Amino acid sequence: MGSSTLTYTDRAAAGSAADFSDDSTPETSGSLGVTLRGLGRRFDGRTVLRDVDVDIRPGEILAVLGASGCGKSTLLRAVAGLDTGFTGQAQIAGQAVSRYDERTAVGFQEPRLLPWRTVRANVALGLPRGTPKAQGRERVDELLRLVGLAERADLRPREISGGMAQRASLARALARRPGVLLLDEPFGALDALTRLKMQDLLLDIHAETGTTVLLVTHDVDEALHLADRILLLGADGTDREGAGVAQLLEITNPRPRDRGSAHLAALRGALLEGLGVEGTTAADTTAETAAETTGGATGEGAHR
């Protein structure tokens, strides 16, 4: 049954995955693992990323940190299948990513809502093609409730705040129950208070859906609050050009996490040092020792 009244143009403008796929992938649910093997990317003869080997566990929240321009978005685009010019391999549930994959959903710093559509219709854009109308409506209502926008469903993007727009964008990404949610600085444009609320919303969503999350962020505290592990991209101890795995840290603090915890403070110091920020308080020079001394995390330290 033809369910959707949304046009191709609408989906294209929203950056929906549906445009990139010509088969009808069934709805995914649950969480999928992501494997990166020797992932690398060169642009114009310059190596940006190289030799990234990481196994992202099903249901894990992995935060990716690194200096501006080190290749965080490039890595995320490789996993999303938005870029096929990389070397090595990105796999989702053991299957190589070769083009945009409907098992993933991507969220960006800006919400990318269609201004001429209501919040409800924008969220519906994320539904898999061919979703029966009644089922789609139910799913969209459920998502609007989940992100606290049930009361705003009939408004247009210009009538809601930036934080609400970002929540709508998150709901749209979740509409097809992605096995992997890829987020590129999703809260980067929000004010500090809204940002903290959005972080907790993401944790609620994660607890409810169990989806694997790959979260690119500039914010060390955000990574420490949300992630099961933090991948720090940067120099990996060799002199070679491009960013690799500088640190891979496990955060074992149970949730909800105390943002003021001493464990997290020690890890923060180590990560800031890894990012080249001077004047950090941690006496330890590596995340590995910070993790050992706090007992709150297991540092895998330099990856290679």
Enumerate binding residues for ligand ATP (CB under 6 A).
43-44, 48, 66, 68-74, 218
The residues, ordered by sequence, that sit 6+ positions from 78 with a Cβ below 8 Å of its Cβ are 36, 39, 41, 86, 90, 97
- Evaluate whether 16 touches 125 at the Cβ level (below 8 Å): yes
What distance in Å separates the CA atoms of residue 158 and residue 161, rounded to the nearest whole number? 8
- Closest by CA to 49, choosing from 79, 93, 91, is 79
Does 73 interact with Mg ion (rule: CB under 5 A)?
yes
**At its nearest, how many Å lie between Mg ion and the CB of residue 184?**
6
Q: Which stretch binds Mg ion (CB under 5 A): 70-78, 105-113, 141-149, 246-254?
A: 70-78
74 binds, among Mg ion, ligand ATP, none (CB under 5 to 8 A by kind): ligand ATP
The stretch among 71-79, 107-115, 161-169, 227-235 that binds Mg ion (CB under 5 A) is 71-79
Residues 6+ apart with CB under 8 A from 150: 141, 144
From ligand ATP, Mg ion, none, interface partner of 71 (C-beta below 5 to 8 A by class):
ligand ATP
Judged by beta carbon distances under 5 to 8 A according to partner kind, the member of ligand ATP, Mg ion, none in contact with residue 48 is: ligand ATP
Q: What is the C-alpha separation between 48 and 55, in angstroms, rounded?
A: 20
Q: Pick the piece of the chain touching Mg ion (CB under 5 A) from 31-39, 73-81, 196-204, 293-301.
A: 73-81
Task: Give the pair of three-digit tokens for residue 90.
Answer: 């990105």
Q: Are 184 and 4 in contact (CB under 8 A)?
A: no
Output the smallest distance, CB 99 to ligand ATP, in A: 17
Please choose which of ligand ATP, Mg ion, none residue 70 contacts, taking the beta carbon within 5 to 8 angstroms, the exact cut-off set by kind: ligand ATP
- CB 81 → ligand ATP: shortest distance, Å? 15
Q: Which does 296 bind (CB under 5 to 8 A by kind): Mg ion, ligand ATP, none?
A: none
Q: Which residues pair with 241 in a beta bridge?
A: none
Nearest distance, CB of residue 71 and ligand ATP, angstroms: 4
In eight-state DSSP terms, residue 57 is: P
Compute the least distance from the CB of residue 271 to Mg ion, in Å: 18
- What are the two backbone dihedrals, phi and then psi, of residue 63, each rounded to the nearest 5 degrees? -95, 140
Residue type present at position 141: D
How many residues bind Mg ion (CB under 5 A)? The answer is 1
Nearest distance from residue 72's CB to Mg ion, in Å?
5
Terminal alpha carbon distance of the chain: 53
Tell me which residues touch Mg ion (CB under 5 A): 73
